[in-house]
Amino acid sequence: EVQLVESGGGLVKPGGSLTLSCAASGFTSTNVWMSWVRQAPGKGLEWIGRIKSKTDGGTTDYAAPVKGRFIISRDDSKNMVYLQMKSLKIEDTAVYYCTTEGYIYGYHAFAMWGQGTMVTVSS
């Protein structure tokens, strides 16, 4: 079965750090761009960043609200993608989704999604 499974969410204090993981199975993510998208409680979707495939340079891009605080990385040998979050703010509270970008369907379309993992930033 083709799927993405996120883990690592939880409760963290403002200013703290947390690392989320995304395990890909049923397909080889090596040549796939991977993105993270978040959704604050009761709010809309927000793209926060991506990591390109190694064949496309393996570089990262980030949305302005998280640039300099979040780092996306990947370990293709394990079919894993990671989201390191530092200097967390209350407004980072959200469900975080791992998703494929441009896989199977078009460029910059998110075809596969994980179930999401909740991150709560609160004192």
Partner 1 sequence: QSALAQPASVSGSPGQSITISCTGTSSDIGRYDYVSWYQQHPGKAPKLMIYNVSNRPSGVSDRFSGSKSGNTASLTISGLQAEDEGDYYCSSYSTSSTLLFGGGTKLTVL
Instruction: In whole angstroms, give the CA distance from residue 77 to residue 105.
Output: 24
Minimal distance in Å, beta carbon 90 to partner 1? 20
7 touching partner 1, by CB under 8 A: no
Q: Are 51 and 34 in contact (CB under 8 A)?
A: yes
Q: Cβ(58)–Cβ(3) under 8 Å? A: no
Nearer to partner 1, 17 or 104 (CB): 104
Which region, judged by CB under 8 A, interacts with partner 1, from 7-15, 16-24, 85-93, 109-117? Answer: 109-117
Out of 114, 117, 119, 121, point to the residue binding partner 1 (CB under 8 A): 114
Distance in Å, CB of 15 to partner 1, minimum: 26
Task: Tell me: does residue 83 bind partner 1 (CB under 8 A).
Answer: no
Q: φ, ψ for residue 3 (rounded to 5)?
A: -160, 160
Q: Does 53 bind partner 1 (CB under 8 A)?
A: no
Q: Which of 70, 73, 78 is nearest to 29 (CA)?
A: 78
Q: Which residues contact 21 (CB under 8 A, 6 or more apart)?
A: 6, 7, 8, 80, 81, 82
Question: Smallest gap, in angstroms, from Cβ of residue 27 to partner 1?
Answer: 15
* Interface contacts to partner 1, rule CB under 8 A: 35, 37, 44-47, 50, 61, 63-64, 97, 101, 104-111, 113-116
